[in-house]
Amino acid sequence: MASVAIIQPEEKHFTFDKIPDLTGKVAIVTGGNAGIGYITYIELARKNAHVFLLGRSIEKGQAAVESIKSETRNHDVEFLHLNLNSLKSVKECAENFLARNLPLHILINNAGITTKTFSLTDDGIQEEFGVNHVGHFLLTKLLLPKIKASQPSRIVNVSSRAHHRVSGIEFEKLNDPNAQELLQRYSQSKLANVLFTDELNRQYLKGEQVYANSLHPGIIYTKMFKRDDFSVANNLLSSSVSSEDGAITTLYCATSPEIEEKNYRGRYFIPFGIEGDKSSYTEDEDLAKRLWEFTENLINEKLSQK
């Protein structure tokens, strides 16, 4: 892989020191045991939020929790098991959180994958689409009543500028192993993140103090980026940002007072807390509605088989 230049802008619109005190706030971060998820998690904890790390690996998740407790001296940090490959696991995770009878002010759907070869989730859904979109869709829907009851609150969906690289979602070909290449599978899942965010605002959040936005964190030089099967990321950007910088835009959407002050809803942000241009396909409300109905039907079908 070619050497990677790390972006070091002279001035950032948002930085960690602009995160307000979050005492009394409860937050969830998916995929928080490494990369930008871990940085997001630790910075929320540093500002006194009660934070739940949701992840697949119990061992890694609990290790991350103990590390963050030690570094931040915030003991209101916890791990909940979440396997986004399994809709049953997503449902159980949401139920486990709701059983705690806590508010939920911040939901950050951060976890994401890409695979070298075509693969399926435990429910038989193309893995990138299933993990990056369908799992987070179900988690958000299950937690939404609690999020509304806790308003003002935020929903943050980590997408990617890769969503610009596709001209829609090929619903009929999602599970065809010969129909799509790696970048197309990943890019469609990231387009789904943006479409879901926008339709969520239209369908469920009108008149609510719930602010749902999506973002591109930058190309992050983490394990996913370094893996051979994601070397194609070099085609997306010729430079990258560190995990610390990559978390800034997520934390901007999750915590910045500007989100509420400027009534940012259904916006798409790029590093570092700057509003960016979405793909023109995200403006297709019929596509967004079709994705929503497709996803709901898919979830109902798969869960009914359990």
The one catalytic residue among 25, 146, 190, 278 = 190
Beta bridge partners of 197: none
Q: Copy the structure tokens of residue 204.
A: 């469920």
pLDDT attached to residue 231: 43
Where does 96-140 show beta strands of DSSP type E? 106-109
Provide the pLDDT for residue 243: 85
**pTM, entire model:** 0.92
Catalytic residue among 38, 41, 186, 264: 186
pLDDT (tens, 9 = 90+) of the chain, 306 residues, equals 333 334 444 578 999 999 999 999 999 999 988 889 999 999 999 999 999 999 999 999 999 999 999 999 999 999 999 999 999 999 999 999 999 999 999 999 999 998 888 999 999 999 999 999 999 999 999 999 999 999 999 999 999 999 999 999 999 999 998 877 878 999 999 999 999 999 999 999 999 999 999 999 988 655 544 443 444 444 444 446 788 899 999 999 999 999 999 999 999 999 999 999 999 999 999 999 999 999 999 999 999 986
Give the model's pLDDT for residue 1: 35
The pair of three-digit structure tokens given for residue 96, joined into one six-digit string: 């486990």
Whole-number Å distance between alpha carbons of 289 and 195: 9
pLDDT recorded at residue 179: 76
Cα–Cα distance, 158 to 160 (Å, whole number): 7
- For this structure, is 186 an active site residue? yes
Q: Reply yes or no on whether 190 is catalytic.
A: yes
Please choose, from the candidates 306, 5, 300, the residue with its C-alpha nearest in 3D space to the C-alpha of residue 134.
300
Report pLDDT for 227: 42
Domains located in the chain, CATH noted: 17-305 (3.40.50.720)
Complete DSSP assignment for 143-181: HHHHHHHT-SEEEEEE--GGGGG-SS--GGGTT-TTT--
